[in-house]
Amino acid sequence: MADYYLYIKYLHVTCVVVSITLFLLRSTWTFQGSPMLSSPWARTVPHYVDTTLLAAAILLTIIIHQYPLQAPWLTAKVSGLLAHILFGLVFFHYKGSWAVRKAALALSLLSFSYIVAVALTRDPLVFG
């Protein structure tokens, strides 16, 4: 595989690590009711990181000619990503019971772990 493919993959994986780190940091601040959560950088930087993560993902799919709805492992990754985002939205923005919000956080983290497992195995059932 061409060198630039590896560089884009490193960019993608670096964004994955930064993205989950910021997600966990924002989760901690949510539990603490910290004002850091509404600081300008906390409201913008995660979006830049996630946009770069997704842009790199799209480039990778174009280079390897495999796409969601055509390659099951990529369909699984996009589904997992949607679940991660939706459960994350419930956790961060739903103002109801903490039980619901904590369940949403657990499901969002589970979805993220599923995406990583699918990425490593290229198998929606993650058996490799």
CA 27 – CA 92 distance, rounded (Å): 8
Q: Residue 35 CB, nearest distance to ligand HEM (Å)?
A: 27
Q: Which of 21-29, 33-41, 76-84, 93-101 is the region at the interface with ligand HEM (rule: CB under 6 A)?
A: 76-84
Considering the rule CB under 6 A, would residue 86 count as an interface residue with ligand HEM?
A: no
# residues near ligand HEM by CB under 6 A: 19
Considering the rule CB under 6 A, would residue 16 count as an interface residue with ligand HEM?
A: yes
Q: Which of 26-34, 37-45, 77-85, 101-109 is the region at the interface with ligand HEM (rule: CB under 6 A)?
A: 77-85
Q: What angle do CA 107, 79, 37 make, to 5 degrees?
A: 50
Nearest to 119 by CA among 1, 3, 17: 17
Considering the rule CB under 6 A, would residue 83 count as an interface residue with ligand HEM?
A: no
Q: Which of residues 23-62 bind ligand HEM (CB under 6 A)?
A: 57, 60-61
| Position 110, amino acid | L
Helix axes 40-64, 3-32, angle to 10 degrees: 150
Residues 6+ apart with CB under 8 A from 9: 56, 60
CA 125 – CA 86 distance, rounded (Å): 21
Considering the rule CB under 6 A, would residue 12 count as an interface residue with ligand HEM?
A: yes
Q: Which residues bind ligand HEM (CB under 6 A)?
A: 9, 12-13, 16, 57, 60-61, 64, 68, 74, 77-78, 81, 84, 112, 115-116, 119-120
